[in-house]
Chain A
């Protein structure tokens, strides 16, 4: 049985201006040790899907379908179950590490805080574990980094600190929401390499959100392409990238300039490719 199984997940938010359908019939599985990428543009529902996985969908939203994590349906779970799950089993990393860290707290205090507060580890054990994990994410001089403040670290270093913090509670599932988008390319390569490494060594299940199909290809086993709250295409990563069957996937792939590609011709925009494919918008 997969660790995470999402079936027919739909979500809508009702407001004064009527009902906004955010997700429609989203289904996919993630096995232990497997990485599934959710690929799409802004507003496609990628982030909302991960919110539903941790039961953090917006208040007052209508949700149907099921999100089954290790035998528990998250959409119907109690608050205490959700808290326990978020503390020990599912962790998240986001695009901008600076918005997720307390700027006036030392990095070391930040990473050990949650596991110590929950009673999972003693202060001493937590610090030892943090230093081990910092080595695993290739941060040099971890003892010194523990004493630093966030503003003293670069974006790439800080994102590695966030990975450490996410792994402190030994989660089984790691949700990564555009974790490298705010980083320089060379740092992106490093972080992707680190995440791939950790995922293999620890048999982590991973959901990796990105707008970059080529990046998704480098890290994931399977890909779901999302558009307007639906999965329009899914399959193994090589299948989806090498032989995309949905016009939208083809459009996404062709709208980006490629290195060594033709610069004399216009870039086909997504709307143009879809029109050429004769698909409705």
Chain B
């Protein structure tokens, strides 16, 4: 049983894909707990299963085995659930993807998009919708003019703010960020990371923060799991995982991050050692 402070818990979640008679276990017996108001990092490289895991959480994929508990009750995203249930689920969690150019409708401004969402979820229109739109636009640091711009007229960082504003519009309890700052220039990345920390402090949001970038994970999360080939190889509070890693893979990840005085040689050695102990994928 999870205690009452746990907002979302995953219990032994497993997902297998079969392609041309080859079976890949993308997510293998993964469990985690996200405390209310907490921020959990999901660290891993491509193919680690981190994106599949959050796609299952948000309902874009279904797990073969395992379950999720939301505030201690079973959380199941049935494809045939009612419209009402879908709206309720949408207000629990929202997701922001890596590339806003792909995830935003190129024909729709932020204002149009928010109007539609606010009407759908809260039946808001007119002045009350307008004032909520002003609030959301301001919360992510965009101007009224930018709210009326098409995605193509905005920069990468501005588009990512649009995606975040849309996600926040339904007041979700959990915001899933899937490599949401990875494609941004460092100066824009700094702004978005500050924004995420501010929003969590102000709104009491919880984050599931998927990233391969260890220093970014350290900046926005309290706890973290490290995934490799579908499995959690290490879990703990972010600072100790990253300052005192136990698993060889976590050590390799850390040795691979360029930093002052860094040389790739140590990482190359650690990788050889790790691969020697593993069965080839």
Q: Which of B189, B262, B268 contacts A256 (CB 8 A)?
A: B189
Give the CA-CA distance A267 to B220 in the complex, in Å.
11
Smallest CB gap from B220: residue in A: A263
Contact segment of B76-84, B111-119, B125-133, B191-199: B191-199
State in angstroms the CA–CA spacing of A263 and B239 once bound together: 10
Tell me the minimal C-beta distance from B186 to chain A in angstroms.
5
Given known A-B contacts A185-B257, A214-B258, A255 and B190 have beta carbons under 8 A apart? yes
Min CB gap A203→B, angstroms: 20
CA A190 – CA B255 in complex, angstroms?
11
Contact of B193 among A192, A215, A257, A259 (CB under 8 A): A257
Known: A185-B212, A257-B216. A192 touches B264 (CB 8 A): yes
Please measure, in the bound complex, the distance between the C-alpha atom of A192 and the C-alpha atom of B219, giving whole angstroms: 26
Q: Which residues of B contact A42 (CB under 8 A)?
A: 156, 185
Does A186 have its Cβ within 8 Å of any Cβ on chain B?
Answer: yes
Number of interface residues of B (CB under 8 A): 39
Per the bound structure, the CA–CA distance linking A41 and B193 in Å amounts to 17
Structural contact, A267 and B194, CB atoms closer than 8 A: yes
Interface string of B179-217 (1 = CB under 8 A from A): 000000111011101100100000000000000111110
Q: Mark A182-219, 1 if CB is under 8 A from B, else 0.
A: 00111111101100100000000000000110110110
* Bound-complex Cα distance A268 to B190 (A): 7
Task: State in angstroms the CA–CA spacing of A251 and B191 once bound together.
Answer: 13
Q: Within 8 Å of chain B (Cβ to Cβ): is A60?
A: no
> Quick one: which of A155, A185, A217, A269 contacts B256, CB cutoff 8 A?
A185
- Say whether B45 contacts A184, CB under 8 Å: yes
Known contacts A155-B46, A184-B212, A186-B252; A257/B218 CB under 8 A: yes
Interface residues of B in 240-257 (CB under 8 A from A): 242-243, 252-257
Residues of B with C-beta under 8 A to A184: 45-46, 212
CB of B124 closer than 8 Å to a CB of A: no
Q: In the complex, are the beta carbons of A189 and B267 less than 8 A apart?
A: yes
Query: Cβ of A278 < 8 Å from any Cβ of B?
Result: no
A218, B190: Cβ atoms closer than 8 Å = no
B263: Cβ under 8 A from any A Cβ: yes
Residues of B within 8 A of A155 (CB): 46
The CA of A256 and the CA of B189, in the complex, are separated in Å by 8
Q: Are B260 and A196 in contact (CB under 8 A)?
A: no
Chain A interface size, as a band, is 35 or more
Q: Chain B's nearest CB lies how many Å from the CB of A202?
A: 18
Q: Judging by beta carbons under 8 Å apart, are B256 and A188 in contact? A: yes
B3 sits at the interface (CB 8 A)? no
Tell whether A261 is near chain B: CB-to-CB under 8 Å.
yes
How many Å from the CB of A242 to the closest CB on chain B?
Answer: 8
A252 in the interface (beta carbon within 8 A): yes
Given contacts A218-B258, A251-B187, contact A186 B253 (CB under 8 A): yes
With a CB–CB cut-off of 8 A, which chain B residues contact A212? 258
**Does B271 count as interface, using CB distance less than 8 angstroms?**
yes
Which of B190, B197, B212, B216 is most buried by chain A, counting CB atoms within 10 A of its CB? B190
A241 CB-CB contact with B under 8 Å: yes
Contact of A267 among B190, B256, B257 (CB under 8 A): B190
Task: Pick from B187, B252, B257: contact of A41, CB below 8 A.
Answer: B187
Does A186 lie within 8 Å of B267, measured CB to CB?
yes
Q: Which of A252, A257, A268 contacts B215 (CB 8 A)?
A: A257
Which B residues are in CB contact (< 8 Å) with A255? 186-187, 189-190
A71 smallest CB distance to B (angstroms): 34
User: Scoring B residues 138 to 158 as 1 if CB is less than 8 Å from chain A, else 0, what string do you get?
Assistant: 000000000000000000100
With A217-B262, A218-B258 as given contacts, are A259 and B242 in contact (CB-CB < 8 Å)?
Answer: yes
Q: Are A218 and B263 in contact (CB under 8 A)?
A: yes
- The docked-state distance in angstroms from the alpha carbon of A62 to that of B234 is 55
Of residues 208 through 257 on chain A, the ones whose CB sits less than 8 Å from some CB of chain B are 211-212, 214-215, 217-218, 241-242, 251-252, 255-257
Q: In the complex, A217→B261 CA distance in Å?
A: 8
The interface bits of chain B over 211-240 (1 if a CB of A lies within 8 angstroms of the residue's CB, else 0) are: 011111011000000000000000000000
B187 and A218 within 8 A (CB) = no
> Does A267 contact B264, Cβ atoms closer than 8 Å?
no
Q: Which residues of A contact B278 (CB under 8 A)?
A: none
Contact A270 B271 (CB under 8 A): no
Nearest 5 A-B pairs (CB), nearest first? A189-B267, A270-B187, A214-B258, A184-B45, A193-B264
Interface set of A (CB-CB < 8 Å, partner B): 41-42, 154-155, 184-190, 192-193, 196, 211-212, 214-215, 217-218, 241-242, 251-252, 255-261, 263, 266-271
A sample of 16 more A-B contacts (CB under 8 A), given A41-B185, A257-B190, A259-B215, is A155-B46, A186-B271, A188-B264, A189-B256, A189-B268, A193-B268, A212-B258, A218-B258, A218-B263, A252-B186, A255-B187, A255-B189, A257-B219, A260-B218, A260-B243, A266-B194
A-B contact pairs, 9 of them (CB 8 A): A184-B212, A185-B214, A193-B267, A218-B262, A242-B260, A269-B187, A269-B190, A269-B191, A270-B186
